[in-house]
DNA sequence: CTAGGGTTAG
């Protein structure tokens, strides 16, 4: 605006009146005593000082040319500098090239432009040209290059500059050496950074801040905090930048006590007026899990910027409070704050968590309006959101059109397919990714392993294990956990345990996977033993751990133990129950036959029971043939969701009629099955028609005898060598008759048969089942 | 032209 007035007046009024109106600027310029007064006093020089955008610059240039000032070094250098600042290296270079007698200053300015606005390699090329042209570099020229080396992680180049500086006798220059420390830290060579730092003859606040930020950014939070104390021991007081550098580290290790003491210091110094300091405080509290304190600071801070909003919204999203995250996001839009890519990613995260497709699509439109579609990270978040909302089709379309896909994009898609049960698509996508020479990472492998686990096919599982080993990703704790889970899901529970035992580092999900594995295999004792081991270790159980252990107790009939776990969850670990925990408890009580207790448990729940709770009640009523409670549960179920009620009825009917008659070998299988049934009947098997009603008597036996699991076992026996264990997977609960029949088959055929049903594993061997007829 | 340090993110 100031420039606009000046531009207007420059064309109409004498120079002197304009110059007198900007005496402060003129004074600054006058200090540059090597510049002739007629140049620095010229109004065009003042205009350039006030210039704030490329548009204004383009308006000023004709005036400079018209006044014959274009030949003056001051103007040439200033133009090069401004073009660089506004990001146009082309125009800067055009001005630079047109200068016939270039002075050192314009070389230095051009170098700065290249180092900051172009690839660091262009910076080095220009540096070489400058040397060839006989221009001697000054110390600060190296600092431009060092910054670029740090940003691009170019250690080799950085070390060259380091050597150059030492050779030129700048080893004691605090400014240059601080740049070196920063460069090593950014290149993740924090030890090298520290070696340079300790050799400083005198340490000022800036170099301390550099090394503190270096440790913080390299994940060494404790060391960063330690250095702040050390710095204070040397009589230096942390400034806002020290605070902003160290707080993320405090948050990362969740050290609330240290965070609070820093907060106290900030308060005493009055630093909370700095928006960035308050923002860093909010971030720290959120990362330490103290959402309320973070929110209070956020609500009363002045000068909230988009980063503050982003941190707050993401804080809620990360803590699972999607509703509050989205509420805040809308408030931000209402306040007229323009979202950035980070905002959008946090909001999409919240949409995905709450499976809110409608809002997700609104944000998708917003992405286009804001012109954020070239941001690959934002597009990756959209892919994840659509996958989570079961719209893999839309996600795949976005992926197809995505320019500059990253590994994250591929991972999001693979995970999406895996989570939506599209195992084949997941594997195909993985194959395409490798064909394009994109190297998988631990995230890729976790998704692929999870997808393969779905199949419950042991040989596939072993194949993926081999693949993981070949890609050298088998050291990652999450990959190993996925493998433990996979072996358990493929029925190889002892292999799972062997892998678990071999792990030197275990995450809470690792324990959960193993406990759940024992649970679904009916090894309740092992699950309880493992939980005890966990309680004595360093890893704290979470709400999923309790879900696994309660369900393990349920599968093995350890009702009292299950009840105890449910109570210590809240009392000892302060973990609140979710709807899944209530469902697991109803299952625990109901399955063991304590149906009235289960019903009372539902009536006494502090929150409204949802579908899963009544579903468990209905299932238990069915097992124990309690029609009265079963109907009550079913009624509540239909009220909550009529469609799901239909699903349950369908489930019951399908149970009796499922078959694999489509199979090409069906005739052969049916014939074989007939002889098999005869053989097990000879061994004492009696067909149970109890579970089928409304069908004519003579058809009943035939229907039961052709249940899908019997057909599948027959298929397995026909197609594998004698003695090979047979793995069967069933998406419903195994029926009583099939269970009995399978026991007999395992005896007469001398085969180990592993059946995975909707809830658990059954290991049949020599006429008995691992579930002890309890499931 | 005339130098060095900082915050959000799968």
Q: For residue range A514-566, list pLDDT tens digits in order.
A: 999 999 998 999 999 999 999 999 888 999 999 999 999 999 999 999 999 99
Residues 550-589 of A with CB under 7 A from strand B: none
Alpha carbons A22 and A43: distance in angstroms, whole number? 9
User: Which of these ranges, A316-330, A407-421, A487-501, A667-681, has the smallest mean pLDDT?
Assistant: A667-681
Is residue A34's beta carbon less than 7 angstroms from any atom in nucleic acid strand B? yes
Is residue A39's beta carbon less than 7 angstroms from any atom in nucleic acid strand B? no
Nucleotide nearest to A342 (CA to C1'): B9
Nucleotide nearest to A345 (CA to C1'): B9
Say whether pLDDT at A240 is over 90: yes
Is residue A85's beta carbon less than 7 angstroms from any atom in nucleic acid strand B? no
The β-bridge partners of A197 are none
pLDDT computed for residue A700 by the predictor: 62
Report the candidate in A682, A704, A678 with the shortest Cα–Cα distance to residue A691: A704
Beta strands in A150-257 (DSSP E): none
The DSSP symbol for A558 reads -
Q: Give per-residue pLDDT as tens, A260-306.
A: 999 999 999 999 999 999 999 999 999 998 999 999 999 999 889 99
Residue A702 main-chain phi, psi, to 5 deg:
-60, -40
The β-bridge partners of A769 are A764
Instruction: Kindly state the average pLDDT of the residues A243-247.
Output: 96
Say whether pLDDT at A57 is over 80: yes
Contact assessment for residue A746 and residue A765, using Cβ atoms and an 8 Å cutoff:
yes
Q: Give per-residue pLDDT as tens, A8-43.
A: 444 443 444 344 444 544 445 445 445 666 666 778
Is residue A278's beta carbon less than 7 angstroms from any atom in nucleic acid strand B? no
A763: which residues sit within 8 A by CB, 6+ positions away?
A491, A521, A752, A753, A754, A769, A770
pLDDT computed for residue A71 by the predictor: 87
Is residue A87's beta carbon less than 7 angstroms from any atom in nucleic acid strand B? no
Instruction: Kindly state the average pLDDT of the residues A574-578.
Output: 88
Alpha carbons A519 and A453: distance in angstroms, whole number? 16
Instruction: Kindly state the average pLDDT of the residues A192-211.
Output: 93
Alpha carbons A304 and A766: distance in angstroms, whole number? 71
Is residue A72's beta carbon less than 7 angstroms from any atom in nucleic acid strand B? no
The separation, in Å, between residue A105 CA and nucleotide B1 C1' comes to 5
**Residue at shortest CA–C1' distance from B1:** A105
Is residue A147's beta carbon less than 7 angstroms from any atom in nucleic acid strand B? yes
Is residue A442's beta carbon less than 7 angstroms from any atom in nucleic acid strand B? no
Nucleotide nearest to A286 (CA to C1'): B8
Binned at pLDDT 50, 70 and 90, residue A660 comes out as: low
Contact assessment for residue A746 and residue A753, using Cβ atoms and an 8 Å cutoff:
yes
Instruction: Kindly state the average pLDDT of the residues A225-244.
Output: 94
User: Which of these ranges, A127-136, A371-380, A600-609, A697-706, has the smallest mean pLDDT?
Assistant: A697-706
Q: Give per-residue pLDDT as tens, A276-289.
A: 999 999 999 999 98
Nucleotide nearest to A85 (CA to C1'): B1
Say whether pLDDT at A689 is over 70: no
Residue A754 main-chain phi, psi, to 5 deg:
-110, 115
The H or E element spanning position A259 is: helix A256-269
The rounded percent of chain A whose pLDDT value lies above 70 is 88
Q: What does R_g of chain A's alpha carbons equal in angstroms? A: 35
The separation, in Å, between residue A341 CA and nucleotide B9 C1' comes to 9
CA-to-CA dists, residue A606 to A285, A583, A641, A754, angstroms: 30, 13, 21, 40
The separation, in Å, between residue A342 CA and nucleotide B7 C1' comes to 13
Average pLDDT, chain A: 86
Binned at pLDDT 50, 70 and 90, residue A662 comes out as: very low
User: Which of these ranges, A395-399, A496-500, A610-614, A704-708, has the smallest mean pLDDT?
Assistant: A704-708
Alpha carbons A350 and A346: distance in angstroms, whole number? 6
CA-to-CA dists, residue A419 to A9, A100, A389, A423, A514, angstroms: 67, 65, 11, 9, 20
pLDDT computed for residue A19 by the predictor: 41
Instruction: Kindly state the average pLDDT of the residues A662-683.
Output: 76
Tell me the three state secondary structure of residue A753.
strand
The separation, in Å, between residue A311 CA and nucleotide B8 C1' comes to 5
| Helical H segments across A507-659, by residue range | 508-520, 524-536, 543-556, 559-571, 579-591, 595-603, 611-623, 627-640, 642-657
Model confidence, pTM: 0.76
Within 13 Å of residue A8, how many CA atoms lie on the same side as its CB?
A: 5
pLDDT computed for residue A30 by the predictor: 46
pLDDT computed for residue A638 by the predictor: 77
Domain chopping of chain A, boundaries: 660-769
The rounded percent of chain A whose pLDDT value lies above 90 is 59
Is residue A340's beta carbon less than 7 angstroms from any atom in nucleic acid strand B? yes
Alpha carbons A456 and A712: distance in angstroms, whole number? 14
The separation, in Å, between residue A344 CA and nucleotide B8 C1' comes to 12
Is residue A81's beta carbon less than 7 angstroms from any atom in nucleic acid strand B? yes
Nucleotide nearest to A277 (CA to C1'): B7
∠ Cα A280 A286 A288 (to 5°): 105
Alpha carbons A456 and A489: distance in angstroms, whole number? 6
The β-bridge partners of A764 are A753, A769
Say whether pLDDT at A187 is over 90: yes
**Residue at shortest CA–C1' distance from B10:** A408
Say whether pLDDT at A1 is over 80: no
Alpha carbons A599 and A629: distance in angstroms, whole number? 8
Is residue A78's beta carbon less than 7 angstroms from any atom in nucleic acid strand B? yes
Q: Give per-residue pLDDT as tens, A709-753.
A: 787 788 778 877 788 878 776 766 777 888 899 999 999 999 988
Alpha carbons A157 and A427: distance in angstroms, whole number? 41
Alpha-carbon torsion angle A554, A558, A562, A564, nearest 10: 170
The separation, in Å, between residue A118 CA and nucleotide B6 C1' comes to 23
Is residue A200's beta carbon less than 7 angstroms from any atom in nucleic acid strand B? no
Is residue A592's beta carbon less than 7 angstroms from any atom in nucleic acid strand B? no
For chain B, which bases have at least one atom within 7 A of a protein Cβ? 1-10
Q: Give per-residue pLDDT as tens, A416-449.
A: 999 998 999 999 999 999 999 999 999 999 999 9
The separation, in Å, between residue A172 CA and nucleotide B10 C1' comes to 42
Alpha carbons A134 and A722: distance in angstroms, whole number? 86
The DSSP symbol for A7 reads H
The separation, in Å, between residue A288 CA and nucleotide B6 C1' comes to 20
CA-to-CA dists, residue A5 to A1, A159, A494, angstroms: 7, 49, 82
Tell me the three state secondary structure of residue A571.
helix
Residues 165-194 of A with CB under 7 A from strand B: 173-176, 178-179, 182
**Residue at shortest CA–C1' distance from B9:** A342
Instruction: Kindly state the average pLDDT of the residues A148-159.
Output: 91
Contact assessment for residue A720 and residue A750, using Cβ atoms and an 8 Å cutoff:
no
The separation, in Å, between residue A241 CA and nucleotide B10 C1' comes to 28
Is residue A441's beta carbon less than 7 angstroms from any atom in nucleic acid strand B? yes
The separation, in Å, between residue A88 CA and nucleotide B3 C1' comes to 23
Binned at pLDDT 50, 70 and 90, residue A358 comes out as: very high
The DSSP symbol for A577 reads P
Say whether pLDDT at A643 is over 60: no
**Residue at shortest CA–C1' distance from B4:** A175
- Classify burial at A470, counting beta carbons within 10 Å of its beta carbon; exposed 0-12, middle 13-18, buried 19 or more: exposed
């Amino acid at each position: 605006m100031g420039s606009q007035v000046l531009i207007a007046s420059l064309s109409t009024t004498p120079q002197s009146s304009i110059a007198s109106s900007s005496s402060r600027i003129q004074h600054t310029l006058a200090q540059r005593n090597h510049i002739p007064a007629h140049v620095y006093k010229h109004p065009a020089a003042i205009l350039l000082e006030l210039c704030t955008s490329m548009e204004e610059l383009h308006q000023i240039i004709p005036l400079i040319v018209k006044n014959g000032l274009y030949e003056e070094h001051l103007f040439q250098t200033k133009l090069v500098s401004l073009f660089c600042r506004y990001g146009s290296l082309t125009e800067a270079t055009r001005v630079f090239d047109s200068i016939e007698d270039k002075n050192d200053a314009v070389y230095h300015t051009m170098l700065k432009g290249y180092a900051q606005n172009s690839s660091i390699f262009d910076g080095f090329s220009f540096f070489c040209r400058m040397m060839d042209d006989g221009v001697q570099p000054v110390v600060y020229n190296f600092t431009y290059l060092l910054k670029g080396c740090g940003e691009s992680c170019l250690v080799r180049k950085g070390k060259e500059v380091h050597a150059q500086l030492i050779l030129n006798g700048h080893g004691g220059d605090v400014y240059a050496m601080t740049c070196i420390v920063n460069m090593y830290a950014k290149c993740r060579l924090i030890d090298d950074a520290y070696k340079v730092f300790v050799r400083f003859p005198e340490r000022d606040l800036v170099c301390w801040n550099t090394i503190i930020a270096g440790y913080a950014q390299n994940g060494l939070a404790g060391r960063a905090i330690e250095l702040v104390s050390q710095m204070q021991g040397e009589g230096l007081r942390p400034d806002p930048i020290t605070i902003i550098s160290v707080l993320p580290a405090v948050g990362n290790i969740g050290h609330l006590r240290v965070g609070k003491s820093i907060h106290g210091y900030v308060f005493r110094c009055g630093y909370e007026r700095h928006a960035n300091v308050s923002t860093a405080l909010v971030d720290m509290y959120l990362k330490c899990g103290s959402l309320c304190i973070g929110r209070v600071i956020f609500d009363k801070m002045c000068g909230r910027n988009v980063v503050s909003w982003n941190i707050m919204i993401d804080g809620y999203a990360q803590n699972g409070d999607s509703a509050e995250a989205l509420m805040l996001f809308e408030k931000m839009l209402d306040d007229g704050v323009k979202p950035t890519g980070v905002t959008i990613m946090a909001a999409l995260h919240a949409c995905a968590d709450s499976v809110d497709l409608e809002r997700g699509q609104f944000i998708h439109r917003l992405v286009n309006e804001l012109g954020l579609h070239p941001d690959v990270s934002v597009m990756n978040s959209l892919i994840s959101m659509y996958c989570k909302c079961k719209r893999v089709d839309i996600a795949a379309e976005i992926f197809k059109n995505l320019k500059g896909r990253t590994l994250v994009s591929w991972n999001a898609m693979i995970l999406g397919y895996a989570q939506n049960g599209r195992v084949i698509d997941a594997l195909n996508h993985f194959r395409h990714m490798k064909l394009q020479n994109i190297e998988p990472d631990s995230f890729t492998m976790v998704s692929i392993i999870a997808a393969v686990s779905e199949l419950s096919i042991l040989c596939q599982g072993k194949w993926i294990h081999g693949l993981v080993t070949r890609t050298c990703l088998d050291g990652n704790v999450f990959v190993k956990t996925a493998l433990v889970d996979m072996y358990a899901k493929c029925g190889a529970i002892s292999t799972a345990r062997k892998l678990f035992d071999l792990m030197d580092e275990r995450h809470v999900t690792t324990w959960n996977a193993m406990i759940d594995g024992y649970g679904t295999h009916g090894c309740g004792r092992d699950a309880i033993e493992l939980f005890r081991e966990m309680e004595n270790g360093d890893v704290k159980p979470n709400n999923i751990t309790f879900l696994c252990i309660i369900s393990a107790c349920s599968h093995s009939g350890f009702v009292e133990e299950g009840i105890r776990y449910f109570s210590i969850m809240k009392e000892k670990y302060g973990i609140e129950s979710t709807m899944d925990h209530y469902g697991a408890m109803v299952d625990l009580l109901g399955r063991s036959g304590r149906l009235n207790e289960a019903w009372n448990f539902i009536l006494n729940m502090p929150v409204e029971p949802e579908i899963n709770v009544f579903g468990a009640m209905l299932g238990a009523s069915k097992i124990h043939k309690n029609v009265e409670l079963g109907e009550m549960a079913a009624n509540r179920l239909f009220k909550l969701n009529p469609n799901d009620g239909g699903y349950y009825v369908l489930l019951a009917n399908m149970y009796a009629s499922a078959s694999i008659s489509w199979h090409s070998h069906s005739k052969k299988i049916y014939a074989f099955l007939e002889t098999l049934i005869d053989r097990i009947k000879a061994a004492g098997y009696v067909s149970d028609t109890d579970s089928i009603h409304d069908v004519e008597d003579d058809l009943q036996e035939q229907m039961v005898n052709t249940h899908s699991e019997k057909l599948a076992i027959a298929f397995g026996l026909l197609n594998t060598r004698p003695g090979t264990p047979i793995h069967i997977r069933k998406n419903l609960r195994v029926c009583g008759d099939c269970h009995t029949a399978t026991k007999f088959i395992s005896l007469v055929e001398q085969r180990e048969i592993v059946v995975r049903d909707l809830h658990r594993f059954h290991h049949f061997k020599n006429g008995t089942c691992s579930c002890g007829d309890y499931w």
